[in-house]
Amino acid sequence: MNLILIPIVLPLVSALALLLISEKTKYLKELLASTAALVSLLAAANIFLQPESTLSLPWLTSGISFTLKADTLSAFLLLAVSLFSAAISIYSFSLPAKGSSKWFFFNLLMTQSFAAGAALSDNMVAMLFFWEGLLVFLYTFIALSQPNHAARRTAGKAFLINAVTDLCLLAGVCITGYIAGTMSMSEISHNKLTLDYGWAVFGYVLLLIGAVSKAGAFPFHTWIPDAATDSSAPFMAYIPAAIDKLLGIYFLARASVYLYQLNGTMSLILMSLGAVTILVAVMMAFVQKDYKRLLSYHAVSQTGYMILGIGTLNPVGIAGGLFHMINHATYKSCLFMTAGSVERQAGTGDLSKLGGLFRAMPLTGLAFIIAAAAISGIAPLNGFFSKELVYKGTLDTGYSVFFWAAELGSFLTLASFLKLGHAVYFGDRPENLKDVKEAPFSMLLPMAVLAGVCLLFGFGAQFPIDNFITPSMQALNVVVPRLSGFHPDKLYFVSVIVILAAVINHMLGLAAGGGKASKASDHIHYAPVLKETFALAERRAFDLYEVGMDRVVPPVSYVLFKIDRAFDWVIDTLPSRTAGFFGGSASRFHNGSYPLYMALTLAGALVYILLAAGNGGLK
């Protein structure tokens, strides 16, 4: 078998084999899934280390071929997908709160297979096949996480939002392929499409909608916080934190840099979308009281930094967006793993019911501290370096407002993680949690690996920049300047000021909240104007899906129902009643009376004679 097929075929075959295993069989499902994921990871590593490889097979009668291409960017993405799949498969060994083990690992492996296919597809039609397959397993992943109606409702919400945006992507692919005369992305890249006329703009915008929706950006993000409540921690660590971000930002970079040549207007639109996503989501994260739900909003907010970096359209910003893509997947997946560990050991994710767990769960707590510091952009961890590149990219555009929006997002990010870490791992431990112990080794190992990557990609930032980011940029045909590691420049000192401001804010919040860390955001949550805004947000007033389903769909459905009933009345009821009326009237004359029939005959003859006479008189 061609090596490039292994990361696609092996998880697919293993997933189907899982269906033959009884649910009661202990650890066999876990071993099969982990083995398949690890072997796929080794294959992905070999593909990455090899020169560019391509597999092309005749597919459709129209001449479209099924082409898989592993250039340095797609091979890097494949390696990341395989790494997180292996980490989640091992992490889920000892976690019971994930639904049926058989169906959980089936969904995980099928997602891995289709994500690998989407990453490697050079032909956009082939990419759509894998991309849409992921939509099916997104639904089943959430729906089967918990045996209740809430999980199924959230699964339906996630499916509908992504289905609509995937239709946009489908239309965008068709328009792009028609304009370019080919569905091959590598062929289109040789002669990039420009936004000089309406159809090109329309095609790119449709691709943009599909990409940012997959990445979980505003306003297509609203299913993610719901999934944090109604699904499992492994699902959140795998799909919203890692796979969706990787694929969405990957394709956004392909569309914005590789397929199209964007102009200044579209650059402003992208950066504005990134800035809004950062601020809207981080404000919601700051006031959350649940561990996973708080993390879910940060998974949305951090997407904004990636979109902002790519939207700058300069090499430094694009490099920052791609670097932040892999960094975010690393620390956010790790953070969701810590949430799952705490939920398993303590039985709750409610911040008001937790506290003092660092002494009982020191390894989980340490992994949390490293990942939280990384996502907050604290030097010299990996999040600092990718954010620094994004900041520099925004400043190079000349629009400093985006830089300050990103810095405000960093301030709120650190402030919310100070609240989360303090509420869960420090302070006094509740009496009912006195016997809590550390999570099992199978859960600690993936957390430790991902926390280690945060350190490696931070202290040794030059390694990922030289070996992953720069080659990926070259695959996009972008010339990258020499990117250096840590150096105390102006941006570093700005980050120090942001850190100090977040710490002061946390201390003020603690004082205002009576020393309770879970209330450390209340002074902002319930501030004038913000109080009413947050209240509207918590009632889902800004959730387009909920507004549509609760306030738009019912009245529209009622109007359409009435219109349908009116057509039925005109087409069916009115003719039948009219025929019945005339039939009934006629039946009253047909009563068998010969004198009546004779009178009607004579009356008819008389009318005829009069009409004939009248016509003759006219002549």
Domain endpoint, select from 491, 522, 553: 522
Averaged pLDDT for residues 401-410? 93
**How many domains does the chain divide into?**
2
The mean per-residue pLDDT over the stretch 313-326 comes to 92
Half-sphere exposure of 5 (CA within 13 A, CB side): 9
Question: pLDDT class for 90, splitting at 50, 70, 90?
Answer: very high
pTM of the model: 0.87
Structure tokens at 487: 């150096």
Same domain, yes or no, for 464 and 347?
yes
- In whole angstroms, give the CA distance from residue 325 to residue 383: 10
398: left (phi > 0), else alpha (psi -120 to 50), else beta?
left
Q: Provide mean pLDDT across the span 292-305.
A: 93
Q: Is residue 12 part of a domain?
A: no
What per-residue confidence (pLDDT) applies to 282? 92
Whether the CB-CB separation of 183 and 124 falls below 8 Å is answered with yes
Band of pLDDT at residue 557, cut at 50, 70 and 90 = confident
pLDDT at 16 over 60: yes
Average pLDDT over residues 193-206: 91
Residues 406 and 449 in one domain: yes
Domain assignment present for 190: no
Two structure tokens written together for 27: 């650890």
Judgement on whether residues 495 and 383 belong to the same structural domain of the protein: yes
Cβ-count burial of 391 within 10 angstroms (0-12 exposed, 13-18 middle, 19+ buried)?
Answer: buried
Question: Does the pLDDT at position 124 exceed 80?
Answer: yes
Tokens of 271: 């950066």
Looking at residue 466, the DSSP 8-state letter turns out to be I
Q: How confident is the model at residue 98 (pLDDT cuts 50, 70, 90)?
A: confident
- Strand, helix or coil for residue 399: coil
Position 494, amino acid = V
* The pLDDT of residue 616: 59
What is residue 350's DSSP assignment? B
485 and 369 co-located in one domain? yes
The pLDDT assigned to 606 comes to 82
pLDDT at 266: 93
pLDDT at 618: 45
Mean pLDDT of the chain: 87
Residues 587 and 478 placed together within one structural domain of the fold: no
Q: Phi/psi at 578 (nearest 5 deg)?
A: -65, -45
In whole angstroms, give the CA distance from residue 426 to residue 362.
11
* Same-domain check for residues 579 and 497: no
DSSP 151-165: HHHHHHHHHHHHHHH
Alpha helices in 287-314 (DSSP H): 291-311
Lowest-confidence region among 116-120, 241-245, 582-586: 582-586
As a whole number, mean pLDDT of residues 514-534 equals: 85
Dihedral sign for Cα 497, 395, 317, 267, please.
Answer: positive
In contact, 179 and 187? CB cutoff 8 Å: no
Q: Is the pLDDT of residue 416 over 60?
A: yes
Query: Considering only CA atoms, which of 385, 562, 416 is closest in space to residue 484?
Result: 385
Reduced to 3 states, what is the DSSP secondary structure of residue 361?
Answer: coil
Residue 139: CB atoms within 10 A of its CB come to: 20
Rg from Cα positions in the chain? 31
Q: Do 609 and 493 lie in a common domain? A: no
**Phi, psi torsion values for 350, nearest 5 degrees:** -75, 120
67: which strand partners? 56
Please report whether residue 206 resides in a domain. no
The pLDDT assigned to 245 comes to 93
Same domain flag for 286 and 414:
yes
Query: Are 445 and 350 in a shared domain?
Result: yes
- Read off the pLDDT band of 365 (50, 70, 90): very high
Compute the distance between CA of residue 585 and CA of residue 185 in angstroms, rounded to an integer: 73
Q: Residue 146 gets which letter from DSSP?
A: S
- Residue 373 within any structural domain of the chain: yes
User: Looking at the structure, do residues 510 and 568 belong to the same domain, yes or no?
Assistant: no
Place of tokens 């391509």: 54
Per-residue model confidence as pLDDT tens digits over 461-482: 888 988 899 899 988 888 877 7
Q: Judge whether residue 301 has pLDDT over 70.
A: yes
- The 3-state secondary structure of 498-529 reads HHHHHHHHHHHHHHHCCCCHHHCCHHHHCCCC
Higher pLDDT among residues 450 and 519, named by residue: 450
What residues make up the domain containing 549? 545-618
Q: What is the pLDDT of residue 550?
A: 67
Could you tell me where the DSSP H helices lie in 539-593?
A: 544-547, 553-568, 574-589
Residues 386 and 446 in one domain: yes
Q: Would the pLDDT of 118 be above 80? A: yes
Residue 592 burial class via C-beta count within 10 angstroms: exposed 0-12, middle 13-18, buried 19 and up: exposed
Mean pLDDT (whole number) for 489-494? 82
Q: pLDDT over 70 for what percent of the chain?
A: 94
Site of tokens 């089936």: 106
Task: Answer yes or no: is 85 within a domain.
Answer: no
Is 528 part of a structural domain of the chain?
Answer: no
d(CA 459, CA 356): 29
Residues 354/414, Cβ–Cβ less than 8 Å: no
Question: Per-residue pLDDT for 619 more than 50?
Answer: no
Q: In this structure, are 317 and 365 located in the same domain?
A: yes
Residue 595's pLDDT is what? 74
Using DSSP, state whether 136 is helix, strand or coil: helix
Judge whether 614 lies within some domain.
yes
Residue 165 lies in a domain: no
